[in-house]
């Protein structure tokens, strides 16, 4: 029987917080929906990805910001390797707690919390969309998610505070990474363990971490990028919660001054 890497509490506030979050994440994976609702969740995630790429089209087209924009959407949100990455993180948890400084463990814990919260919010929203279709006699999974349906389901969730917390976590993680990439030892360590990580079957997790560090290092400062994302998404959350018409129509020209 394999030893449970998360069985024992650890010293350190952020290390223990990370352990508890990983346990919660494991439980979430074991309760993932199947069949119709799972497919509806995937449809929602792809719709939201398209919406993000439309809202931030200028960032995806920017020579400076496109790598960071793709990392947030393709690696953090829509990654097809997320479940394996989470399992890998469990495997290396005891080593992380021994080797990483507390401030780095805090950032990892925030990333896991964001992963869990985003998944829970998406599942709640997907369930509402699924129910909307059922109420209209539309069980067909190919039924398009329209902006009108999305808004209706979003408002039915009544999760405005959690959405704001989700956005705050994204901003905090971005600023934390901006600080961590300035520590030479971390980047050097990631390069050093690249081959051993792949040999031990942890290549997916390692590449994810290394891409994140190289992405934020290349930015040369993440404040403007994070402020743009935070301002735009914050306006959309406010618009959706207040029932404003065309909630995704926002002014893209004032945010760089925020």
pLDDT of residue 83: 80
The pTM (predicted TM-score) of the whole model is 0.88
pLDDT of residue 37: 66
48-100 per-position pLDDT tens digit: 999 999 999 999 999 999 999 999 888 888 777 788 888 899 999 998 888 88
* Mean of pLDDT over the chain: 86
Long-range contacts of 244-251 (CB under 8 A, 24+ apart): 247/151, 248/51, 248/54, 248/55, 248/147, 250/55
Nearest to 3 by CA among 108, 98, 94: 94
119-167 per-position pLDDT tens digit: 899 999 999 998 887 776 655 545 688 999 999 999 999 999 999 999 9
Nearest to 69 by CA among 240, 232, 181, 194: 232
């Amino acid at each position: 029987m394999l030893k449970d890497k998360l069985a024992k509490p650890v010293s350190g506030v952020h290390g223990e917080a990370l352990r508890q979050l990983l346990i919660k994440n494991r439980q979430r994976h074991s309760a993932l929906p199947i069949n119709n609702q799972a497919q509806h969740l995937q449809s929602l995630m792809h719709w939201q990805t398209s919406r993000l790429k439309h809202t931030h089209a200028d960032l995806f087209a920017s020579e400076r910001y496109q790598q960071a924009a793709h990392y947030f959407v393709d690696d953090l949100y829509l990654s097809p390797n997320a479940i394996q990455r989470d399992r890998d993180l469990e495997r290396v948890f005891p080593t992380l707690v021994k080797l990483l400084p507390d401030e780095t463990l805090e950032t990892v814990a925030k990333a896991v919390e964001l992963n869990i919260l985003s998944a829970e919010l998406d599942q709640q929203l997907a369930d509402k969309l699924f129910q909307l279709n059922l109420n209209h006699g539309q069980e067909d999974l190919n039924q398009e998610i329209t902006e009108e349906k999305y808004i209706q389901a979003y408002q039915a969730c009544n999760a405005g505070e959690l959405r704001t917390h989700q956005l705050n976590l994204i901003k905090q993680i971005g600023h934390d990474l901006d600080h961590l990439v300035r520590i030479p030892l971390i980047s050097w360590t990631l390069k050093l363990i690249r081959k051993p990580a792949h040999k031990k079957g942890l290549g997916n997790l390692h590449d994810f971490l290394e891409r994140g560090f190289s992405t934020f290092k290349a930015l040369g400062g993440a404040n403007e990028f994070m402020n743009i994302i935070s301002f735009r998404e914050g306006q959309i959350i406010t618009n959706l919660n207040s029932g404003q018409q065309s909630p995704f129509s926002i002014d893209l020209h004032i945010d760089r001054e925020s």
